[in-house]
Amino acid sequence: MSDVELAPVESFELDHTKVRAPYVRKITVEHGPKGDAITNFDIRLVQPNEGEIPTAGLHTIEHTIAGLLRTRLDGVIDISPFGCRTGFHLIVWGEPSPTDIAVAIKASLEDIAERVRWEDVPGVSAVSCGNYRDHSLHSAREWCRLVLAQGISVDPFDRSVLA
Ligand SMILES: [Zn+2]
């Protein structure tokens, strides 16, 4: 080890070989000085080290789910892709359950898979995105269909898939 100092991060303590995606996992609940709670979730769409969503499809899912999820779930602060491209961090106000989250994610993925059209995808111009050429609704749809076919589990280790 070098003498560089790094704080421990929960996400890197998770044994990625033990999980069974797709799943929703509560990572942490943080409390602010006034008692407000913020919960961080691991929205894992692809089995770690067995695949990854290509960047263009992931980018389109990111843009679209940002709007779709907020129509179904109160208190969304951010939903952003993991660098490994197997899923998203979701940060929300309060302490919703993994089931609350999984229901909202599933419905949003269903929209992307079957209902969203290209003209619905927000922020696909040079003005509103940092890499607007790198989008694919086709890829987004196909990956959402694959996730939905496998089902979203509310337990990261034992499959407990939403009906
Ligand atoms: Zn973008």
Strand extents, DSSP E, the chain: 23-31, 37-44, 76-81, 87-93
Report pLDDT for 13. 85
Cβ within 8 Å of residue 1, ≥6 positions away: none
Report pLDDT for 130. 97
Q: What is the mean pLDDT of residues 51-71?
A: 98
Report pLDDT for 162. 86
**pLDDT category, 148, cuts 50, 70, 90?**
very high
For residue 127, report the distance from its CA to the centre of ligand 1, in Å: 10
Q: What is the mean pLDDT of residues 71-86?
A: 97
Q: What is the mean pLDDT of residues 6-21?
A: 90
Q: What is the mean pLDDT of residues 130-138?
A: 98
- Torsional sign, CA 114, 98, 152, 46: positive
For residue 28, report the distance from its CA to the centre of ligand 1, in Å: 27
- pLDDT (tens digit per residue) in 85-133: 999 999 999 999 999 999 999 999 999 999 999 999 999 999 999 999 9
For residue 49, report the distance from its CA to the centre of ligand 1, in Å: 25
